[in-house]
Amino acid sequence: MEENNKKKIKVAVFPAGTEIGLEICHALKYEKTVELYGLTSIPDHSQMVYKNIFQVPFYYEKDFIGQLNGFVHEHQIDFIYPAYDDVLMFLTKHQGKIDADIVASPPETIEITRSKRKTYACFAEEDFVPETYSQLEEITYPVFVKPDIGQGSEGARLVHSAGELQTLAHKEKMIFSEYLPGEELSVDCFTGVDGRLLSCVPRKRLRIRNGIAVKSELTETTEEIAHITHTLNRKLHFCGAWFYQLKKDVSGKYKLLEIAARIAGTMGLTRNLGLNYPMLTLYIKMGVPVSVCKNDFRITVDRALISRYETDLTYKAVYVDLDDTLIINGRVHLLLMQYLYQCVNEGVKIYLLSRHRGDVSAYLKRYKISEILFDEIFSIGEEPKSKYIMEQSAIFIDDSYRERKEVQEACGIPVFGPENVESLMKWRR
């Protein structure tokens, strides 16, 4: 049987638009054995990156499981990948009522790790658990206050006095922990089906926004970190990917902040070392034997907002300029090249319009650009470029405002500069 004819594993990610859901998408979208679906309860960025995107109710709504199962049967979904802590808790708790396998560790592990109070109680005998206060009168200030059940840094704050503490609401749902002023780490881990720890990759949380590490870099696995990791793995039953966070106390000793038995949004850093935790976890759920293979080089991730665009443009051809458009200052316009291959994938014709004074074939060859990329190449003189635009359903890309204006007025088609190519890209997989 040909590889492409083999039955694909259908995986639905919910909710698809979280940082976790987007990372799972990045990790699985090129896997030839996976057909990826995104589920969301509200319109969000997942609509820009998932080719198959569907809306379902919020997990806490009355008929959620019924509608989810309807979707599972209609699309023959094999696995559901939770991408939010509360959803992870709900889906694992109700696994018996859901007609697809949940990609997650056992419910008992999820229940413990979802609560900081239960986590600290589970490891109460270990010296890496921070000191917590059950009686407000015993607190040593400053004290760090955070929700027992929460995510990111939501609701967490440093409190400096008893008076300030009294102003806090819902104190009964909070954890009062010793202040940890030192370096903070996340440790990405992977546990095999037999409970054996296969991977442990610590990373520094260098810049944090809304509880998410938007800048992170690898650091060494010290004996202290290895000891904590093996202790957590020994006492809890993990299946696949998980991570935990540490922070140094006043004496420089690492203390446990929290554990999460799921994919982390910043696991892209680990993935780019060759450790695709989302796919490896899926393999475990499929019963496929796994091993890990990690590259050894320095890598840093720095994340910021990314803009993706959606237009109502439809066209069958693109006319593109060469000098200062496809080649700018002696360098290939990489995004434009990516876009041209997007056109190849979608059956859009590509025409090169060039006023290059030399040998166009030799010039393209110098930059390793094949002539067969183009349906036709026009080497033109001083005549207007609109003269060569025969396709009515077309767009035009050129660095020259004068050229763009002339084509737009003569042909009535959309025109773009090199800086506008990003709006033509399609990211759905």
* DSSP string computed for 58-117: -TTSTTHHHHHHHHHHHHT--EEEE-SHHHHHHHHHTGGGSSSEE-SS-HHHHHHHH-HH
CA 327 vs CA 38, 110, 384, 386, 387: distances in Å: 37, 52, 21, 21, 23
Same fold: 8-102 with 112-120+181-302: no
Q: Domain 8-102 belongs to what architecture? A: 3-Layer(aba) Sandwich (3.40)
* Burial track 35-65 (b if 16+ CB lie within 10 A, e otherwise): bbbbbbbeebbbbbbbeebeebeebeeeebb
Assess whether pLDDT exceeds 80 at residue 245: yes
Assess whether pLDDT exceeds 60 at residue 5: no
3-state secondary structure of 360: helix
pLDDT tens sequence across 61-79? 999 999 999 999 999 999 9
- What mean pLDDT is reported for the chain? 94
- Check residue 325 and give its pLDDT: 97
pLDDT mean over 233-248: 97
* Burial track 86-121 (b if 16+ CB lie within 10 A, e otherwise): ebbbbbbeeeeebebbbbbbebebbebbbbbeebbe
CA distance 416 to 421: 7
CATH 3.20.20.210 is the classification of domain 112-120+181-302? no
- Check residue 402 and give its pLDDT: 96
Task: Among 118-132, 133-147, 233-247, 341-355, name the one with the lowest average pLDDT.
Answer: 133-147
**Domain spanning 317-424: which superfamily?**
HAD superfamily/HAD-like (3.40.50.1000)
Cis ω on the peptide bond leading into residue 289 (within 30° of 0)? no
CB 51 within 8 Å of CB 428: yes
User: Residue 137's pLDDT band (boundaries 50, 70, 90)?
Assistant: confident
- Check residue 143 and give its pLDDT: 87
| 165-169, 301-305, 402-406: which is most confident | 402-406
User: Residue 138's pLDDT band (boundaries 50, 70, 90)?
Assistant: confident
For the chain, give every domain's residue range.
8-102, 112-120+181-302, 131-178, 317-424
Through-space distance between the first and last CA atoms of the chain, rounded to whole angstroms: 25
pLDDT > 90 in the chain, percent: 85
User: Residue 2's pLDDT band (boundaries 50, 70, 90)?
Assistant: very low
